[in-house]
A and B are shown apart, each in its own frame.
Chain A
Amino acid sequence: MVPGSWFLGLAAILFTIGAVGLLVRRNVLVMFMCVELMLNAVNLTFVTFARMLDDIGGQVVVFFVLVVAAAEVVVGLGIIVAIFRRRHDATADDVFALRG
């Protein structure tokens, strides 16, 4: 029997990997994947708490998060494709021209 806190720890580690990855990686697609990793870490947290609290609410939340993540993927990829069309790479350092 694996204790619930292990799952919470794993979720926290995944969330941290996602957050750090988004900050240090420069490829937009990889940054995007890091966001998805963070959202899925949250899902794992919700499911674990739902199990520990014996409450169905946390599992229902996961469905909402999945739907929102899917919508975000659609819009995010749309924006990335729009940028790819203009310049054939998607490295954050090159795309980022607005400064000040």
Chain B
Amino acid sequence: MSMLAAATSTPIHVPRVEWVAILPELILVGAALVLLTASGLRRARLPRGVHMIATIAAAGGALGAAWYLWAQVSDGKARDAVAGAVVVDGFSVFFMILVSCAVVLGALLADDYLRREDLDGPEFYALMMLSASGAMFMAAANDLIVLFLGLELLSISLYVMAGLHLRRSESQEAAMKYFLLGAFSSAFFLYGIALVYGATGSTALPAIADFLRTNVLVSNGLLVGGLGFLLVGLGFKVAAVPFHMWTPDVYQGAPTPVTGFMAAAAKAAGFAGLLRVLFSTFITYRLDWQPVVWALAVATLVLGSVVALVQTDVKRMLAYSSIAHAGYVLVGVEVATSRGTAGALFYLLAYTFMVLGSFGVVTVVGRRGDAAHDLDTYRGLASRRPALALAFTIFLLAQAGVPPSTGFLAKFYVIGAAVEARAYALAIIAMVAAVVAAFFYLRVIVVMYMTASEEAESPRLRVPVGVTVALAATLGFTLVFGIVPGTVFDFARHATVLRF
């Protein structure tokens, strides 16, 4: 009786939840659940294209909600929400917008692909929206546990998406490799959280930052070890060397639209987590992590660019190129200035559009069965489908860093930031890697334009409407903002306002 009295006299403190702060995530999760339930309840199949349209509508809603949030935070204001679990600032809203764009483009690429491969259904779209909400939670995380939950939501959905093509054993192999290595890296990440928690007494990022500012640890082995494990976990997600082993196999084996979405969203989310942890929390330990990030960046740039040279499978080559791109973003991270961060964010946004465009072309050329990805299938593409070959050429040149394109400016901004921060060695290595990388991008272009196709094509490659729209959008972004980058770069610059 006395216990009951005690229980009633202490009211349970219910935190105030600001739903608006997590509206983009809620829209995507809600749409995913509605989509799954609706197609589960209906006996007949939904008319074709409905899943895609619903997904694009949901992503558009998330984009609108993110835009609304942007208006509140673009002048550098940041606020906690949901009892300090998430933070709404320019940085998190930037990634919400980026991921929403990736969802729209991913849905456009997937629509015809799924019908072509007899995989049509709500699963792909629902999983894509769930993983996108995980990516957004990672960017908005204000607590290491929220970061971990976002990471898992992103990853677990992607494991299933990688294995979605039931009749290709490569797809299932990709799912299994991604799953085993992803779970392995998650365990490291989690152990890192545990060690940081033990060293600082909290998992909330602001509390850790406060602790590190006000205390000088006599023996900081626990903390540095924890930070190291966090870097390992996030390094896996962004495919930084030496944690890149899964990337070529998973990129090659996964269904091509999934590869495109994964390359864009998972990399961006991994870097969102990395930037948030390093800059808003461990900035006082900059001298400890900068050399590590330096080594990661150099290894990633060199290995990604060099190994891509010997690939004969285009998807695999693009996988190594995505590793190399992670190296450039790491250059922006390493310099640890606001200019470097702005460059890294601009790079991630530019890469999202370039890579989804590239994989859009690969989706079409892959044909039914999703197996024709050898470099030989691109022979004489320019004479068969000139527009498609031209689009692929522009994406490859943009990835190689040829002006006028967002790809060139992205490299220019991160390397410029490195020079400004007097990281000359890093800047030189990045430029040499860009020269090496140009070779394998040009090789594909040469194959498309300079060689004739051996036999007459049968049947002619069909470019579906959805892919056409996606290619037009990505091409437009890559070229227009490659010439007038002001708006997008300002956007990235305002998004670097992390809370220190």
> Could you list which residues of chain A lie within 8 angstroms of chain B, going by C-beta atoms?
8, 15, 18-19, 22, 28, 31-32, 35, 38-39, 41-42, 45-46, 49, 52-53, 55, 57-58, 61, 64-65, 68, 71-72, 75-76, 78-80, 82-83, 86-87, 95-100
Smallest CB gap from A57: residue in B = B203
Report chain B residues within 8 Å CB of A39: 187, 190
B residues 238-260 near A (Cβ < 8 Å) are 248-249, 252-253
Contact across chains for A72 and B156 when beta carbons are under 8 A apart: yes
B201 within 8 A of A: yes
**B215 shortest CB reach to chain A, Å:** 14
The reply on B237 being an interface residue by CB < 8 A is no
Partner of B198, one of A31, A32, A53, A75: A53
Contacts of A75 in B (CB 8 A): 156, 159-160, 179
Other-chain residue from A8, A32, A79 in contact with B175 (beta carbon distance below 8 A): A79
Asked if residues A18 and B187 are in contact (CB atoms below 8 Å), the reply is: yes
Interface of chain B: mostly helix, strand, loop or mixed: helix
With A64-B149, A97-B170 as known contacts, state yes or no: A38 contacts B176, CB within 8 Å: no
Q: List 12 A-B contacts (CB under 8 A).
A: A22-B184, A31-B180, A45-B191, A45-B194, A49-B194, A53-B201, A57-B202, A72-B152, A79-B159, A86-B172, A98-B249, A100-B312
Does B93 interact with chain A (Cβ within 8 Å)?
no
Please name all residues of chain A whose beta carbon is closer than 8 Å to the beta carbon of B159 when the two chains form the complex.
75-76, 79
Minimum Cβ distance to chain A for residue B151 (Å): 9
15 more CB-based (< 8 A) A-B contacts, given A68-B149, A95-B173: A15-B191, A19-B184, A35-B184, A42-B193, A53-B201, A55-B202, A64-B145, A68-B148, A75-B179, A79-B179, A82-B166, A96-B173, A98-B173, A100-B248, A100-B312
Residues in chain A near residue B180, CB distance under 8 A: 22, 28, 31-32, 35, 76
Taking a contact as CB atoms under 8 Å apart, the answer to whether B197 and A79 are in contact is no
CB-defined contacts of B197 to chain A, threshold 8 Å:
46, 49, 57-58, 61
Residues on the B chain within 8 Å of A31, using CB? 180
**B187 and A35 form a contact (CB under 8 A):** yes
Cβ distance B36 to chain A, nearest Cβ, rounded Å:
15
Once A83-B172, A98-B252, A100-B316 are accepted as A-B contacts, the answer to whether A76 and B179 lie under 8 Å apart by CB is: yes
Interface string of B128-152 (1 = CB under 8 A from A): 0000000000000000010011001
Q: In the complex, how many residue pairs between chain A and chain B have their CB atoms under 8 Å apart?
A: 118
Q: Which of B155-172 contact A (CB under 8 A)?
A: 156, 159-160, 163, 166, 169-170, 172
Q: What is the chain B residue whose CB lies nearest that of A60?
A: B145
Report yes or no: A96 in contact with B177, Cβ–Cβ below 8 A: yes
With an 8 A cutoff between CB atoms, is B183 at the interface? Answer: yes
Report the Cα distance A76→B173, complex, angstroms.
12
Which of the four size classes fits the interface of chain B? Answer: 35 or more
Contact of B311 among A38, A42, A65, A100 (CB under 8 A): A100
Q: Which residues of B contact A96 (CB under 8 A)?
A: 173, 177, 249
Chain B residues positioned under 8 Å from A18 (CB to CB): 187
Partner of A28, one of B166, B169, B176, B252: B176
- Determine whether the beta carbon of A72 is less than 8 Å from that of B183: yes
A38 touches B187 (CB 8 A): yes
Question: For chain B residues 306-351, which have a beta carbon within 8 Å of chain A?
Answer: 311-313, 316
Partner of B173, one of A8, A35, A46, A97: A97
Question: Which chain B positions have C-beta within 8 A of A41?
Answer: 191
A-B complex: 8 closest residue pairs judged by Cβ atoms: A38-B187, A49-B198, A45-B194, A98-B249, A35-B183, A42-B190, A68-B152, A79-B175
Cα separation A32 to B194 with both chains bound (whole Å): 21
A42 touches B249 (CB 8 A): no
Contacts of B183 in A (CB 8 A): 32, 35, 72, 76
Task: List the B residue with the shortest CB-CB distance to A53.
Answer: B201
Given A57-B202, A97-B173 in contact, is the A42-B191 Cβ separation under 8 Å? Answer: yes
Residues from chain B with a CB closer than 8 A to the CB of A95 are 173, 176
CB neighbours (8 Å) of B109 from chain A are none
0/1 interface trace, chain B 249-274, chain A, CB 8 Å (1 if under):
10011000000000000000000000
| Nearest Cβ on chain A to B307's Cβ, whole angstroms | 9
A8 to B222, CA, bound (A): 11
Tell me whether B170 and A98 are in contact (CB under 8 A). Answer: yes
Q: Which residue from B176, B187, B193, B203 sits with its C-beta under 8 Å from A83?
A: B176
In the assembly, what is the distance between CA of A100 and CA of B249, in Å?
8
Chain B residues near A49 (CB, 8 Å)? Answer: 194, 197-198
B179 touching A82 by the CB < 8 A rule?
Answer: no
Contact (Cβ within 8 A) A100 B179: no
Cβ contact of A71, chosen from B156, B175, B195, B201, cutoff 8 A: B156
Most buried by B among A42, A78, A87: A42
Q: Does B365 contact A (CB under 8 A)?
A: no
* Measured CA separation A61–B174 after assembly (Å): 30
Q: Which residues of chain A are within 8 angstroms of B173 by Cβ–Cβ distance?
A: 83, 95-98
Which residue from chain B places its CB closest to the CB of A45 in the assembled complex? Answer: B194
What is the bound-complex CA distance between A68 and B146, given in angstroms? Answer: 12
Q: In whole angstroms, what is the CA distance A87 to B202 when docked?
A: 47
The 0/1 profile, CB within 8 Å of A marked 1, for residues 32-73 of chain B is: 000000000000000000000000000000000000000000
Chain A, Cβ-Cβ closest to B146: A64
Return the contact of B145 from the options A45, A61, A71 (Cβ within 8 A): A61
Instruction: Give chain A residues whose Cβ lies under 8 Å from the Cβ of B169.
Output: 83, 86-87, 97
In the bound complex, do residue A82 and residue B184 qualify as a contact, i.e. CB atoms below 8 Å apart?
no
Given contacts A15-B191, A42-B194, contact A61 B176 (CB under 8 A): no
